[in-house]
Amino acid sequence: MYNLAEFFKHRSKIKILSCRNEVARARVASNPSTPVDILMKLSADEYEYSFVRRCVAENLSTPVEILKILSTDKDSVVREYVDLNPNWSSRVYDI
């Protein structure tokens, strides 16, 4: 049987990712409750100087795998936020 809650959850994810409003996407990107799959998609935001990617890099719930991708971002501010994220810092010190 199809789960109605899952249907609405999936539908809202599509809305978030297709939203043209950068501020709305950035709010989702900075929310610590945002699921990892959404953070991954938002980390690939297409704008050159992306406020959205900056928010993903700054989000304390962003996993190291995504931070690793953002650590090579074309936007120097995104890279700086990655360096400031405690998840990335702890990864660096664990080496």
Classified as helix, coil or strand, 85 is coil
pLDDT top residue among 83 and 13: 83
Tell me the average pLDDT of the chain: 83
What is the model's pLDDT at position 20?
83
What is the model's pLDDT at position 90?
58
The predicted-structure confidence for 36-79, as pLDDT tens digits, reads as follows 999 999 999 988 778 999 999 999 999 999 999 999 999 999 99
What is the model's pLDDT at position 92?
53
DSSP 30-77: H-TTS-HHHHHHHTT---TT-HHHHHHHH-TT--HHHHHHHTT-SSHH
Four-point Cα dihedral 54, 60, 65, 68, nearest 10: 50
State the pTM of this model.
0.80
What is the model's pLDDT at position 31?
92
